[in-house]
Structure 1
Amino acid sequence: MPMDFHDPRNQSSYTTRVADASWLELIAKQVELKGKRAADIGCGGGIYTKALLALGAEHVIGVDYSAEMLQGAKQNVGETQEVEWIQGAADRTTLPSKHVDVVLERALIHHLTDLQGCFREAHRILKAGGMLIVQDRTPEDSVLPGSDTHIRGYIFEKFPGLMETEKSRRHDSETVTEALRESGFCDIRELKWWEPRKVHPDPEALFEDVRRRTGRSILHELSDGELDELIAYMQSKLQGSGPIAEKDPWTIWFAKR
């Protein structure tokens, strides 16, 4: 069954990583965050809320529709006056209009059907000249084969039926770009990005991460027995491997208000 983001047992699922240094470098080249006010919409466990602070944001507002996710994010980020937390939906953040300079929506839009509602809200809360960053996977990103770096691909090799589930919740590039344009954004740019996710010291560390379904909502579609089958499949593929530098494919859109 789909992941329940309101379940207290999933509170820390998205708090166990830190944003990779290469992601910070990429965003710093594209967007000026120093001294800016930013909103992290769909902040989950606060991993990228912290990253926005690391990039020099003066103040970050973490927004999520799940009280449990926000609680995990608060524990992850810690007490700081530089961050505030708001429970709100992507299309109804409750933030004032023209309130922030930058909006980040990472791994958010595949949970939504109404892209324009989400993007119109981002447009509303951004100041003139502000920047929206959208990071997610397209259907094309989702069908890439598995390897000792692209672990996600093994999920769909073992359970091909999940591929249709995965593709059905992903928006293609043209749809995202058109929704951004129709929501009032301009200067829309798109790039493909392989983001380092985590270095696992050995395959067993990876398998334990998979077993806990850490930060991988698609794994909640599998029963415990199917999860064991997946791990056995990965073991056959990764036998004898040393450290595993896992990466995920993404598409990132930058759009100006």
Structure 2
Amino acid sequence: MGKVAGHTFLELGCGSGYYTRLLLKNGANHVFAVDFCAAMIQELPRAGVTPIVDDAASVQLDIKFKRILCLGLLEFVPDAGAVLYRARELAEDGCLLVILLPADNMLGWFYKYFHRRHGIHVRLFTIDEIKAIGDANGWVLEKMVFKLPFSYIMRFRGV
């Protein structure tokens, strides 16, 4: 992601604010935090955050962003392309988008199985699949890191 301090972020799928808090702790100017679950939004810190209960694939805002996070969301949504399309619509040209998602490997399969046992569908993406979804929605993959035990961190740039 690069420098956090002084930047305003859009966080799609913020949950209860784990990454929101990290951004603020590292000097983020402000975080627009979007989640579909109102109960999760209630857990967000109050200072420096604009909480938004909405769908990441259709949220409407009157601001464009230079930094967007989508951490631990895409594997749970029915249409990852719709989320990346909406992110691009909310992005300035050259915007950085960071995605965190589970790898399509043995540990990722255990992650998927765990969630399925709790009635939650998880989609695992191959690198080529997520790259193609990004390409189709105005994002170019710049860097990817595998983070143990089973996650990919991917940085895209809006074109």
TM-score over 0.5 for the pair: yes
Provide the rounded CA distance (Å) in 2 between the counterparts of 1:100 and 1:136.
Answer: 21
For 2:15 and 2:141, the matched residues in 1 are separated by 28
Instruction: Output one character per residue of 1:120-161: Cα deviation in whole Å (capped at 9) or x when no partner.
Output: 1111111121110100102214147xxxxxxx6xx96xx8x8
- Kindly indicate whether residue 74 of structure 2 is the aligned counterpart of residue 125 of structure 1: no
Asked if structure 1 preserves the Cα contact closer than 8 Å seen for 2:69 and 2:97, the reply is yes
Asked if 1:84 is matched to 2:50, the reply is yes
Paired residue secondary structure (1:51): helix
Identity between Structure 1 and Structure 2 (%) = 21
Larger Rg over CA atoms: 1
Report how far residue 187 of structure 1 moved.
4.2
Q: Secondary structure at the residue paired with 2:150? A: strand
Q: CA 1:186–1:41 in 2, change beyond 3 Å: closer, same or farther?
A: same
Aligned length: 154
Provide runs of 4+ in structure 1 moved above 3 Å.
none
Listed one character per residue, the Cα deviations across residues 64-112 of structure 1 (whole Å, up to 9, x for unaligned) are: 0111111122xxx2x31x1110111111122225x21111111101111
Note the residue ranges of structure 2 that are not aligned, 5 or more in a row.
none
Name the residue aligned to 1:94: 60
Give me the CA root mean square deviation: 2.3
Normalised to the residue count of structure 1, the TM-score between the two structures is 0.55
Whether 1:67 aligns to 2:38 is yes
Give, in angstroms, the shift of residue 191 of structure 1: 1.2
Aligned to 1:130, the other structure's residue is in SS state: strand
Instruction: Please say if 1:189 is aligned against 2:126.
Output: no
Structure 2 length-normalised TM: 0.85
User: What is aligned with 1:15?
Assistant: none
Query: What letter is aligned with 2:93?
Result: A
Deviations 1:147-187 (A, max 9, x none): xxxxx6xx96xx8x85xx87x62222211111001101124
Unaligned runs of 5+ in 1: 1-29, 145-151, 195-247
Does the Cα contact within 8 Å between 1:177 and 1:188 map onto a contact in 2? no
